[in-house]
Every structure is written in C-alpha cells, then in structure tokens.
Amino acid sequence: MASKRVTSFDVADLAGVSQSTVSRAFTPEAKVSKKTRQKVFAAATKLGYQPDAIARSLSTRHTNIIGIVMAHITSPFYPYVLDKFTQRLQEMGRQILLFNAAAGQDVDDILPLVLQYRVDGLIITSATISSEMADVLARDGTPVILFNRYVLGANCSAVCCDNVDGARKIADFLLDNGHKRPAYIAGDANTSTNIDREKGFGDRLRERGIIQWYHEQGEYTYQSGYDATLRLMQLAKPPDAIFCANDVMALGALDAARHALGLRVPEDLSIIGFDDIPAASWPSYMLTTIRQPVTRMIDATLDLLLERLDNPKVEPALKLIPGPLIQRNSTRVAETQT
C-alpha cells in the first residue's frame, strides 16, 4: 500500500517551522538562516522528504523538462545524438521527456501531447514540424530547435550540419581523384538533409562539367543502400563512384559491391558516405565520409535553446556547421595525388 506521501507540511511540523520555510530551505537562492535550513534538512532526511516536482511546476509555471522528439532512433547516427543531448541536459539539471516519432507519423500530431506536459522547450531531431505548428509554439512561448532538419520561413530555429557544403566537398574529392561516372543514392526524398546533400553534390558536379549522373532512391537504411547498389552496378555503364546520403547506406553499398558483386572497393568502385558513424572506421569498411560535427551541433542547439529559454523573443536562427571530409580507403586516389 502506497504509504501517504511526505509533504512539506510534515517536514515543517517535525522541524518546528512553517511550511513556507521548508519551501525556502529547498530553494538555494532563498533567504533562510543557516540554522533553520539545517533543521529543515535534518527533518527532511529523517522523513525521506523530497519536494514534489509536479506541484512545484504547477506553481512556478515551468517544469524544468525539455521535450526531445526523435525519429529513426535506431539509425546508427542518432543514438549518439540522444546520448549527448541527455547527458548535457542532465548536467544542467533538466529532465528529458522523450517522444519517438514513429516512421511515417506526423510530428504535428504528437506535439499537442508534449505540450500538455508543459515542457519548457523542445528539441526535434531528424523530423520536422509544419510552420503552422511552429507558430502555435511560438505563440505560447515554447522554444523549439530543429536538429538536423530545417523549415524555411518557419518560426523556429534549426541547427544542421552544412550538408550542401559537405556534399560539394565530396563531389570535388571524387572528381579530383579521377572519377568519371558518379552516382548518388538518396535518402528519404523529402528530408532537408537529403535535399541539401543531393543539391550540393549535383551543383558542384555541374559546375565542374559533369552534366549527368545516376540517381537511385534509398531510404537511409543498410538494406536500401545494398539494394540500390545492386541496381546501379548492373547498368550498361555502371558508375565508378557512389555517394550515399548516409553512412549506413554506404556500408550496405560496400557489402553489396564486395560480397554480392565481387567487385574490389576502391579499385573497381569508390564509395563514400556521410555521418562518420563508428562502423565507418572499422577495418572491414574504412569508409571515406563527411564527419558530422556532433558535439558542436549539440552545443549550438543547446545554446540556441537556452537563449530562447530566458528570452522567448529572440529571432529564430539557422546554424549551419561544416564537417570535414575523412579520407579512408573506400575511395580510389588519383596517382597524381600523394
């Protein structure tokens, strides 16, 4: 049987002070004499008292909770993101209410639920919201930061890896190393991430005189990268380099090339990814890729969030953080290069 909960009144009685004093004793910056605070704490520990965060939230009108909405939790890049976010947030003494945006589920639909819990702020990862919803949030003063997605013209901040820039670097790298027939395996078509990577890659290719290249549709999964590669390589004039919109697809591509097709990578085919997940550096793969600067992205997101937390009126900002190209052994290097 749930024994009746210990409240600040019980502590007050035992300590011989008023309930207000108990409350103050648990507020670090409140004016309470050292002696009384000690008395209160003594009584509190004796009773096993802990202030009730729910009651506190009701009266302070903030919960100290940050909502994190996340899609693709199992996609190799995101556990790291979640890990870092929760760590940092916990260090700041904040709680995390986690929402898993199931595949195909509209984030707009789950947001009302999140808001019922009066989260102080919201981080949305690898998913987007409509600009209508962004407006709703802006109206009631709940800061939202998009992580790795952005919505143009919407009333909310976003932090992304500079995907256009990264993809351009990839185009340059491939061309500089003598590749002639590049291909692109896309991620989910309507994600800003994919759009930007595709655009950066394509733009740069065009600027350097390549006017056509293969395009296969993937969906950010290992299997989709694997399958797309099979389709690509049975073309009459197969590509000599494949840029996959993320690392997991690139791993799938590599395995398809080597194990299903019997090709040598990088001698017969170069493969390049995007993210730099741990497996990218494993000897079986040694994948050339663009590293997403996760830590810096997290920092930027949290900065933006904190800023809006104490001033909800600051203008939404979009921060693009460039990532370096990590050269490993999945890409052929031109002889002229060292």
Interaction site with DNA (CB under 7 A)? 5, 7-9, 16-21, 23-24, 26-27, 31-33, 35-37, 49-52, 55-56, 58-61
Q: Which residues neighbour 115 within 8 Å (Cβ) at sequence distance 6 or greater? A: 137, 140, 142
Site string for a second copy, 68-87 (x = CB under 8 A): x----xx---xxx-xx--xx
Residue 261 in contact with residue 233, Cβ under 8 Å? Answer: yes
Nearest distance in Å: CB 119, DNA: 15
Burial readout 40-61 (b: 16 or more C-beta within 10 A, e: otherwise):
bbebbeeeebebeeeeebeeee
Residues numbered 235-274 forming contacts with a second copy, rule: CB under 8 A = 251-252, 254-255, 258-260
Kindly give, in sequence order, each residue whose CB lies less than 8 Å from that of residue 131, ignoring residues fewer than 6 positions away. Answer: 151, 153, 154, 155
Residue 337, both tokens:
């290069």
- The residues near 24 (Cβ < 8 Å, ≥ 6 apart) are 30, 31, 32
> By CB under 8 A, is residue 147 in contact with a second copy?
no
**Quick one: 112 or 324, whose CB is closer to a second copy?**
112
Q: Which of the listed partners (a second copy, DNA, none) does 126 bind, with a CB threshold of 5 to 8 Å by partner kind?
A: none
The region of 9-17, 28-36, 108-116, 267-275 touching a second copy under the rule CB under 8 A is 108-116
State the binding partner of 129 from a second copy, DNA, none, CB within 5 to 8 A by kind. Answer: none
β-pair type (325-326, 288-291): antiparallel
Query: Closest approach of Cβ 17 to DNA, in Å?
Result: 4
Phi, psi angles (nearest 5°) of residue 80: -65, -40
Nearer CB in complex with a second copy: 12/89:
89
Residue choice 30, 42, 102, 235 for contact with a second copy (CB under 8 A): 102
Q: 139 touches which of a second copy, DNA, none (CB within 5 to 8 A by kind)?
A: a second copy
Q: How far is the CB of 293 from a second copy (least distance, A)?
A: 17
Distance set, CA 52 to CA 58, 134, 255 (Å)? 10, 31, 53
Q: What is the spatial distance between Cα 272 and Cα 266, in angstroms, rounded to a whole number?
A: 10
Q: Tell whether residue 53 is a contact of a second copy (CB under 8 A).
A: yes
Among the listed residues 153, 313, 336, 338, the single contact to a second copy using CB under 8 A? 313
Residue 160's DSSP bridge partners are: 320
Nearer to a second copy, 55 or 334 (CB): 55
Residue with tokens 């760590």, as numbered in its chain: 87
Q: What angle do CA 244, 245, 248 make, to 5 degrees?
A: 70
Name the residues that contact a second copy, by CB under 8 A: 1-3, 5, 48, 50-55, 57-58, 61, 63, 65, 68, 73-74, 78-80, 82-83, 86-87, 90, 95-100, 102, 110, 112-113, 115-118, 136, 139-141, 222, 251-252, 254-255, 258-260, 278-279, 282-285, 312-313
